[in-house]
Amino acid sequence: MELVINGLSKTYANGVKALDNVSLTIPTGMFGLLGPNGAGKSTLMRILATLQEADSGSAMLGDLDVLRQKQEVRRVLGYLPQEFGVYPRVSAYEMLDHIALLKGVIHDGDRKALVEALLHKVNLWEHRKRRIAGFSGGMKQRFGIAQSLIGEPKLIIVDEPTAGLDPGERNRFYNLLTEIGENVVVILSTHIVQDVQELCRNMAIINKGRLLFAGSPNDALAAVKGRIWEKSIPKQELEAHNASFKVISNKLIAGRPVIHVYDEGRPDGFAPAEPTLEDVFFSHIHGAHQPVMA
């Protein structure tokens, strides 16, 4: 099973081109869709989740036409949106039971077994009688995973799942995601490089609606290897360096900026840096690096 996206475009009524001819093949397992805010990630996720129309292009999940066979797609889809909007004032148990019923688990015994198993899986069993509205961010996200797993989905879409989670909650969420089967296409949309680094075997980078890279994190790193250089500089030299080099990131280390630049050869005064996925991301986003399709 693969999700094959071909030439997908979407322009909003205000003229913003949120997706510009995006083509991507997404295999089973965890796939990271990385891009800064406004890149077009949510637009792509909502189109794949059958919640929004594309202007042109196609998306096929196996032999299902995602843009046309919406009802069939919804039966095999698990969607965890960025925010639920309103969190219901009913208990986690009642809500899962309700969603399972809507998804067609009509037999009472089957539904009870499913809901109980899911609550254990996402570690919310102890909290099953509490209202979801009172949950912490991490608990809400884990509840989101539980509801997205109802109906044994073939495609799971998780939009910006770790934004706003503290490190402990983020780790629990990562562990939960990695337990989802290898036979499912899981798309994780995020602007957090660490999410992709820790979880994903394959990834894509998009910006301004365009695909800039597709491949494995290792391919992405290999493509910039030997081209990332670093230097610790006084704060007042930051502007001059920005003007003279392709500065892709700057971080304060012990109060002093350490800049990373992208260059084919080693610039004077710089030391070679072992590229990180963050370097890859920023070199693509800042246009320092020519698009590479693996």
Binding site for ligand ADP (CB under 6 A): 12, 14, 16, 18, 35, 37-43
| Cα 274 versus chain centre, distance | 24
Q: How far is the CB of 208 from ligand ADP (least distance, A)?
A: 8
β partners of residue 19: 10
Cβ closer to ligand ADP: 33 or 156? 33
C-alpha 192/C-alpha 178 separation (Å) is: 17
The CB-of-33 to ligand ADP minimum distance in angstroms stands at 9
- Minimum CB distance to ligand ADP, residue 67 (Å): 17
In the bound complex, what is the minimum distance in angstroms from residue 102's beta carbon to ligand ADP? 26
Helix (H), strand (E) counts: the chain: 10, 15
How does 73-101 read in b/e, with b if 16+ C-beta sit within 10 Å? beebbbbbbbeeeeeeeeebbebbbebbe
Beta carbon nearer to ligand ADP, 40 or 138: 40
Least distance from C-beta 35 to ligand ADP, angstroms? 5
Question: Which CB atom, from 40 or from 275, has the smaller least distance to ligand ADP?
Answer: 40
Residue with smaller CB distance to ligand ADP, 7 or 38: 38
What is the distance between the alpha carbons of residues 242 and 273, in angstroms, rounded to a whole number? 18
Q: Which residues contact 242 (CB under 8 A, 6 or more apart)?
A: none
Query: Would you call 279 exposed, middle or buried from its count of C-beta atoms within 10 A (0-12, 13-18, 19+)?
Result: buried
Q: Which is nearer to ligand ADP, 40 or 217 (CB)?
A: 40
* H or E element at residue 168: helix 167-178
DSSP 199-240: H-SEEEEEETTEEEEEE-HHHHHHHHTT-EEEEE--GGGHHH
**What is the closest distance, in whole angstroms, from the C-beta atom of residue 38 to ligand ADP in the complex?**
4
Q: Which is nearer to ligand ADP, 144 or 151 (CB)?
A: 144
